[in-house]
């Protein structure tokens, strides 16, 4: 795989050129961006997958000021539907995509919609839902919409400043576009990150005067759930467990379970993988299938031995307060 990525370096130069020209045309105003009356907050990254966007959206939803009428707009990656779709009681994970469906199930009071055309999706939400705030999931590179605030996520183990363009690296947008972020969140840090390392990362990121940088780590639940049952992590020790992941970077979860002294076999699949009947049959032969919450919504109802381990962001220092200030700041009217 690494060899193929190196061989793809000439393609990455072409990709980088296309990205540069596209952003330059937006900066000149030849390609135009549109603002909306509804306040919008974009959560995204410069790379492909693995930075914790869904837990960040969930954090924002859970901490929005009481009475705020919220809507979430996502592309709905991997869904089997087209165009604009507002989630309802009968909407399936295949129609919505795994991440929007997960949020929809967890926060039924929030309007969740999918549309690859973000301008159109926002317009539809304004007409049908009339929200106070729209959270745009994974939309940092979608410059057709000009948001009120941008939250940029970058993983501790693969900072965007150290990355390179696809297909050699994981960047899908220019590092220079980080300048549009109001907050940069360094995610998936070690739980014991020291101040010296924070300062080293800050120096590498070199934030602009208007930017705040916060640090977070993944805080996994102390128990797993599924089928109306709950087991503590302590109870998992000695059990026969198959870990199934269809996420961009399962390494933090694998490391966490190993640190807990839990033994397991790991079946790793690509991000947003839709499991085949053959794979489901294989999972049914296992004693316990443990997975992520995102994978759980794609497997729920198809297995009786299925459990998931939830996760959320925890922030160092005053990071949470920085995010909440942006989240609950009213829109400035022109």
Q: What is the pLDDT of residues 148-186, one digit of tens each?
A: 999 999 999 999 999 999 999 999 999 999 999 999 999
In this prediction, residue 7 carries a pLDDT of 80
For the entire predicted model, the pTM comes to 0.95
Annotated domain spans of the chain: 2-68+132-218+315-327, 222-309
Is residue 334's pLDDT more than 60? Answer: no
Peptide bond into 167 cis (omega under 30): yes
Arch. (CATH architecture) of 222-309:
3-Layer(aba) Sandwich (3.40)
CATH class as words, domain 2-68+132-218+315-327: alpha beta
Residue 281 to residues 108, 284, 302, Cα–Cα distance (Å): 31, 5, 9
DSSP line for 157-181: TB-GGG--BTTTSSBSS-GGGGGG-
Q: Which of 159, 173, 164 is nearest to 206 (CA)?
A: 159
In this prediction, residue 1 carries a pLDDT of 58
In this prediction, residue 3 carries a pLDDT of 72
In this prediction, residue 5 carries a pLDDT of 79
Q: How far apart are CA 249 and CA 159, in angstroms?
A: 14
In this prediction, residue 274 carries a pLDDT of 87
Annotated binding site for ATP: 47-54
Q: How far apart are CA 123 and CA 144, in angstroms?
A: 13
Decide if 2-68+132-218+315-327 and 222-309 have a common fold. yes
Annotated binding site: 47-54
């Amino acid at each position: 795989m690494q060899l193929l990525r190196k061989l793809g370096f000439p393609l990455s130069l072409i990709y980088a050129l296309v990205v540069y020209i596209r952003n330059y045309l937006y900066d000149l105003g030849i390609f135009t961006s549109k603002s909306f009356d509804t306040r919008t907050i974009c959560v995204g990254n410069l790379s492909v997958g693995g930075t914790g966007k869904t837990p960040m959206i969930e954090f924002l939803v859970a901490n929005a000021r009481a009475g705020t009428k919220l809507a979430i707009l996502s592309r709905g990656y991997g869904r089997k539907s087209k165009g604009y779709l507002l989630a309802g009681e009968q909407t399936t994970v295949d129609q919505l995509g795994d991440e929007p469906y997960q949020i929809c199930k967890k926060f039924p009071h929030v309007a969740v919609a999918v549309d690859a055309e973000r301008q159109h999706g926002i317009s539809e939400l304004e007409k049908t839902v009339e929200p106070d705030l729209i959270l745009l999931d994974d939309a940092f590179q979608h410059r057709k919409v000009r948001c009120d605030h941008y939250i940029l996520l970058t993983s501790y183990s693969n900072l965007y400043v150290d990355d390179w363009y696809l297909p050699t690296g994981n960047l899908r947008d220019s590092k220079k576009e980080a300048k549009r972020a109001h907050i940069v969140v360094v995610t998936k840090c070690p739980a014991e990150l020291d101040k010296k390392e924070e300062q080293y990362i800050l120096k590498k990121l070199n934030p602009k005067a208007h930017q705040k940088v916060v640090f977070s780590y993944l805080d996994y639940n102390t128990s797993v759930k599924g089928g109306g049952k709950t087991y503590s992590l302590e109870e998992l020790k000695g059990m026969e467990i198959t870990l199934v992941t269809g996420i961009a970077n399962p390494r933090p979860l694998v490391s966490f379970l190993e640190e807990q002294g839990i033994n397991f076999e790991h079946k790793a699949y690509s991000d947003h993988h839709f499991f085949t009947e053959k794979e489901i049959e294989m999972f049914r032969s296992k004693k316990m299938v443990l997975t992520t919450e995102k994978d759980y919504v794609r497997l729920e109802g198809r297995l009786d031995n299925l459990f998931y381990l939830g996760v959320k962001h925890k922030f160092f220092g005053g990071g949470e307060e920085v995010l909440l200030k942006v989240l609950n700041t009213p829109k400035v009217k022109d």
